[in-house]
Amino acid sequence: MRLYITILFIVFWTTTHAQKWGIELHTQKALVFRGAQAIARGNPQAIELRLLKATNGEKWWHAPHQYPRFGININYLDFDDPTLGQSLSAQLTGERSIIKKKHWQFNFVAGMGIAWITNPFDRINNNKNIMLSGNLNSSWIANFSLAWQIKPPWQLMFEFGIIHYSNGAVQLPNQGINLATANIGIGYRPQIAQVAYNPEKQSVSQVSKRKRVAWLLSSSIGFVERYPTNGFKYRVYGLHLTRQQMWGKVTFWQVGLEGFYNTWLYEFIRPEEQANAGRIGLNAGLGWVAGRLQGDIGLGVYLYKPQIIDSQVYERYGLRFFVTPNVFTSFHVKSQRGSVDNLEFGAGWRF
Dump the DSSP string for 12-27.
Answer: HHHHHHHHTEEEEEEE
Same domain, 74 and 106: yes
Pairwise pLDDT comparison (294 vs 200), residue with the higher score: 294
3-state SS assignment for residue 304: strand
Range of the domain at 248: 204-350
What is the reported pLDDT for 171? 77
Q: Give CA–CA dist 114/112, Å, rounded.
A: 7
Q: Among the listed ranges 226-230, 283-287, 290-294, 331-335, which one has the minimum average pLDDT value?
A: 226-230
Same domain, 116 and 11: yes
118: confidence class by pLDDT, cuts 50, 70, 90? very high
* Overall average pLDDT of the 100-120 stretch: 93
Same domain, 325 and 182: no
We report the CATH number of the domain holding residue 23 as 2.40.160.20
Is the pLDDT confidence value at 202 over 70? Answer: no
Residue 199: inside a domain, yes or no? Answer: no
How do beta strands 327-336 and 313-322 pair?
antiparallel
Same domain, 209 and 176: no
Same domain, 248 and 101: no
Share of the chain above pLDDT 90, in %: 52
Same domain, 34 and 181: yes
- Residue among 323, 317, 350, 282 at smallest CA distance from 110: 317
Same domain, 149 and 11: yes
Mean pLDDT computed over every residue of the chain: 86
Taking a C-beta distance cutoff of 8 angstroms, is the pair 165, 117 a contact?
yes
DSSP string, 37-104: GGT--S--EEEEEEEEEE--S-STTTTTTTS-EEEEEEEEEE-SSTTT-EEEEEEEEEEEEEEE-SSE
Q: Give CA–CA dist 54/68, Å, rounded.
A: 6
Residue 196: inside a domain, yes or no? Answer: no
Pairwise pLDDT comparison (238 vs 189), residue with the higher score: 238
Same domain, 182 and 242: no
* Overall average pLDDT of the 250-258 stretch: 96
- Residue among 46, 117, 48 at smallest CA distance from 82: 117
Q: 15: buried, middle or exposed (CB in 10 Å: 19+, 13-18, 0-12)?
A: exposed
Is the pLDDT confidence value at 158 over 90? Answer: yes
Pairwise pLDDT comparison (174 vs 262), residue with the higher score: 262
User: Can you give the pTM of this predicted structure?
Assistant: 0.83
What is the reported pLDDT for 229? 67
pLDDT in tens, 160-173: 999 999 887 777 77
> How many structural domains are present in the chain?
2
What is the reported pLDDT for 226? 72
105: confidence class by pLDDT, cuts 50, 70, 90? very high
* Overall average pLDDT of the 290-319 stretch: 92
CA 230 to chain centre: 26
Pairwise pLDDT comparison (286 vs 14), residue with the higher score: 286
208: confidence class by pLDDT, cuts 50, 70, 90? very low
Residue 194: inside a domain, yes or no? Answer: no
What is the reported pLDDT for 42? 79
Is the pLDDT confidence value at 204 over 50? Answer: no
Taking a C-beta distance cutoff of 8 angstroms, is the pair 86, 79 a contact?
yes
Same domain, 275 and 310: yes
Residues 6+ apart with CB under 8 A from 222: 168, 235, 236, 238, 334, 342, 343, 344, 345
We report the CATH number of the domain holding residue 287 as 2.40.160
268: confidence class by pLDDT, cuts 50, 70, 90? low
Residue 154: inside a domain, yes or no? Answer: yes
Pairwise pLDDT comparison (181 vs 82), residue with the higher score: 181
Same domain, 38 and 171: yes
177: confidence class by pLDDT, cuts 50, 70, 90? confident
